[in-house]
Every structure is written in C-alpha cells, then in structure tokens.
Amino acid sequence: MSDRAFAVVRAGALTTVQDGGRAGHAHLGVPRSGALDAPAARLVNRLVGNAEGAAVLETTLTGCAVRPRCPVTVAVGGAPCRVTVDGRPAAWGAALAVPAGAVLEAHPAVRGVRSYLAFAGGVAVEPVLGSRSTDLLSGLGPDPLTDGAVLPLGPGCAPPAGGGGPVPWPAPPGELLLRIRLGPRDDWFTAGALRTLATALYRVTSSGNRIGLRTDGPPLERAVHGELASEGMVLGAVQVPPDGRPVVFLADHPTTGGYPVVGVVAEPDLAAAAQAVPGTPVRFLPVRRRRRT
C-alpha cells in the first residue's frame, strides 16, 4: 500500500467508515447507511477541504487513534472529545496538520456518542454500490476498524481556503426533541396511544445502534391487532414492535418491515438522535403541517 494511508492504533468500541450513503438500492434490500450525524460529517469534510460526501471515520463513545503514513490535514468533530497528536493537545472542530508517523487520537466523547474524523483526500476504501459506508445490518462496505488495520487515503487536497478555523457546533442534546409527522400507520394505534406519544417522556435505551434508536417509556396500544404486510421503510420511521416501545430507524435500518410506523421523525432532528446517550429523555413533537426544510 502507498504512503497515502493510515494505520489504526486503537479502533475503539465501534469505528466505521461512512460517507453520504448508498442511495437507490432499497428495492434490492440494501440499506442507505451513511454518517448518522450527517451535518457533523459534512462539516469535518469542509474543514479539511474535502467534498461534503467524502468518506470519514465515525466513532462510538470511546473514540479511536490512527497513525497516518503521510503528512495529512485532519479534522475531528461531532461529539466533543479531547484530541491529541502524539500526546499533545490539539484543537477539536478545526483543521490540524498531522505529521507522518504521528498518532492522532480522538479520545472518548465528553458529551454525545459519535465523533467524526475527516482526512484531506478522504478515506479511500473501495466503494460498494457507489458508497464507502459500512452497513452493519447487511455487512456491505468495509468492516468496522480493527487495531492494526491499514486504510488508504485519497489524493491530498489543497488546504482549505480561509484556514478552516473553528466553527459553531451544536452541542449534543440534554433532552431529545423529535418532531414527528404522524403516519402512515397512525390509524393502527388507539387515540390514547397517540396522546401518549405526544405527551409522555421516553428515554434512550442502551440497546440502540446504527440501525435504530430504541426508547423506553409507556407502550403504545394498538387499535388494529392484525399483522401488517411488509412495507417500505424510510429514514426516521418510528416503528412500533409488539412491546409498544417506539424505535426510530437510523441509517442502517432495514428497507422493508412488518411493524406499523406511527410517524416519521423530521430528518434534521436525526443528527441529535445520533448523539443521544443512553438515558437521554426523548419527547416526540407531532407536527401536522407540511414544513420546508
């Protein structure tokens, strides 16, 4: 492998390669994937002068450490964390010049769940169906990072104009407010269940992953008890399994499913969902009118 590469020193709990996702194959059962906190991934790419959809690393809670084999501009963003280069403190949320052979470490998240590491030129693993994203549901794309793995980088880019200095960054949520548009299967639930959904406090559970954000709270009672024939599922769909606890579908969600979807979370709210640690309170806010985003 050429010098345009980096070695994984510490893979962390779960670090994957993610880009804008794998669109256009849902009819074959291929999930969309892509960075869960999409605005954060776009922003770190901008900071290093990449196209917004270039492949980045997405960490989970514990961060990761890498050793580039070439000098490379890097930016760490998303969940706030301590950043070091060869043990010396470096800026989070800003472009950093990392020398060849130095260890860049994104330490565990101080708040939030997922930090993002962008490298100038992008992570250049082989694309599968037009995307470099790891899809944990169906196993497409590169495997999650392992200690000692070496991943290629794309051709270096010019340093970003304007210096790529610190940028405003939304803080991970203390309470998750998810705007939800009811349907398509809200009529499968009782009126009481819909009131519960709009008023009750739910909490993020620790069993969530890239497939879905699981919540605990009062179960939603069904008005229709039959089986729903499998139907297509969208990003942000709030599926209600037999236990009545809402699951918000994230990027690696299955493309079809057989449990009723009571509503769909507005896509701009999903970045905060991706950063909500277990225990975070969740409120669903039904919106009725069409909104331009």
Annotate each residue in 62-101 with x if it binds other proteins (CB under 8 A) or - if it does not, as one string. Answer: ----------------------------------------
Q: Which is nearer to other proteins, 46 or 181 (CB)?
A: 181
Q: According to CB under 8 A, which one of 27, 88, 225, 288 is a site residue for other proteins?
A: 27
What is the smallest separation between the CB atom of 22 and other proteins, expressed in angstroms?
10
Which of the ranges 93-101, 106-114, 214-222, 233-241 carries the binding residues for other proteins, by CB under 8 A? 233-241
Q: According to CB under 8 A, which one of 117, 261, 272, 276 is a site residue for other proteins?
A: 261
Distance CA 180, CA 84 (A): 39
Pairing of strands 281-286, 176-182: parallel
Which of the ranges 28-36, 96-104, 199-207, 209-217 carries the binding residues for other proteins, by CB under 8 A? 28-36
The residue assigned the tokens 């690696």 is 252
Q: According to CB under 8 A, which one of 181, 210, 214, 222 is a site residue for other proteins?
A: 181
Distance CA 202, CA 3 (A): 49
* Contact call for residues 238 and 264 (beta carbons, < 8 A): yes
Which of the ranges 49-57, 105-113, 215-223, 257-265 carries the binding residues for other proteins, by CB under 8 A? 257-265
What is the smallest separation between the CB atom of 29 and other proteins, expressed in angstroms?
4
Return the HEC string of the chain.
CCCCEEEEEECCCCCEEECCCCCCCHHHCCCCCCCCCHHHHHHHHHHCCCCCCCCEEECCCCCEEEEECCCEEEEEEECCEEEEECCEEECCCCEEEECCCCCEEEEEECCCCCEEEEECCCECCCCECCECCCCCCCCCCCCCCCCCCEEEECCCCCCCHHHHCCCCCCCCCCCEEEEEEECCCHHHECHHHHHHHHHCCEEECCCCCCCEEEEECCCCCECCCCCCCCEECCCCEEECCCCCCCEEECCCCCCEECCCEEEEECHHHHHHHHCCCCCCEEEEEECCCCCCC
Which of the ranges 34-42, 116-124, 163-171, 234-242 carries the binding residues for other proteins, by CB under 8 A? 234-242
Which of the ranges 1-9, 39-47, 179-187, 212-220 carries the binding residues for other proteins, by CB under 8 A? 179-187
Annotate each residue in 187-226 with x if it binds other proteins (CB under 8 A) or - if it does not, as one string. Answer: ----------------------------------------
Distance CA 184, CA 231 (A): 11
Site for other proteins in 130-159 (CB under 8 A): 138-140
Q: Which is nearer to other proteins, 164 or 263 (CB)?
A: 263
Is residue 237 a contact residue for other proteins (CB under 8 A)? yes
Q: Which is nearer to other proteins, 139 or 155 (CB)?
A: 139
Q: According to CB under 8 A, which one of 170, 183, 192, 279 is a site residue for other proteins?
A: 183
Q: Which residues bind other proteins (CB under 8 A)?
A: 23-30, 128-129, 138-140, 181, 183-184, 229-234, 236-237, 254-257, 261, 264-267, 290-291, 293
